[in-house]
Amino acid sequence: MKTLKDLFLDELADMYDAEHRIIKALPKLAKAATCSDLKAAFQSHLKQTEAQVKRLEQVFQSFGKKAKGKTCEATVGLLKEGDEIAAEFKGSPSINAALIAAAQKVEHYEMAAYGCLHAWAGLLGNRPAADLLQETLNEETDANRSLTKLARASSNEEAMCESDTNDSKTGMRNNSGILRRGGRPTFPDRKRKGSVLR
């Protein structure tokens, strides 16, 4: 019969593997980004992730276990998708928005995983481990917020520039039938919505 502790250690090994994979992926994302602020965000999170790996090792130790990884299939898939996006959108005005979306998928997975680990550590009565995991959860949440701000500040608008160009080339017309040069189609009964990244 598997116990909560078994589940905790299994998920911990999963995240230990995930963080090592993310450490290898972040420099690639930074290289693919054309926005200096986004490059800096990826580089900053790389340093955080390296510290998070050491934190996970401390959590293993607090349970009397040696740190070990178990292939995190979710992270493997998410990072593969990120690689494909970087290749597909290279040279496109949408590249930064695409990279942010890929990175946020990873962040959301990590936030869910660390939220569970933090709760389980508390239930298992290991307060030091719970505190370490909460620290990492806070960092992942902050990283996700930073990516959202970058998307809303510039990257999503840059991606729309490509749509504007395509619209004018294909003869997109507004509701009065007049071609709008370099502009998005207008809908009088709709308000413009913000970023879909929340």
Looking at residue 14, what is its pLDDT?
Answer: 98
Task: Name 159's Cβ contacts closer than 8 Å, sequence gap at least 6.
Answer: 93, 94, 96, 97, 98
pTM, 2 dp: 0.79
Distance from C-alpha of 198 to C-alpha of 187, rounded to nearest angstrom: 23
Residue 142 to residues 83, 134, 151, 179, Cα–Cα distance (Å): 23, 12, 14, 42
Looking at residue 178, what is its pLDDT?
Answer: 32
Q: What is the largest CA-CA distance in the chain?
A: 71
Looking at residue 154, what is its pLDDT?
Answer: 73
pLDDT one-digit tens code per residue, 10-67: 999 999 999 999 999 999 999 999 999 999 999 999 999 999 999 999 999 999 999 9
Residue 159 has pLDDT above 80, yes or no: no
pLDDT one-digit tens code per residue, 91-127: 888 999 999 999 999 999 999 999 999 999 999 999 9
Distance from C-alpha of 80 to C-alpha of 85, rounded to nearest angstrom: 9
Which has more confidence, 50 or 167? 50
Residue 131 has pLDDT above 60, yes or no: yes
Distance from C-alpha of 59 to C-alpha of 189, rounded to nearest angstrom: 54
Domain ranges of the chain: 4-170
Residue 102 to residues 95, 105, 167, 168, 196, Cα–Cα distance (Å): 11, 5, 26, 29, 13
Q: Does the domain formed by 4-170 have CATH 1.20.1260.10?
A: yes
pLDDT one-digit tens code per residue, 132-142: 999 999 999 99
Average the pLDDT over 169-182 and give the result. Answer: 37
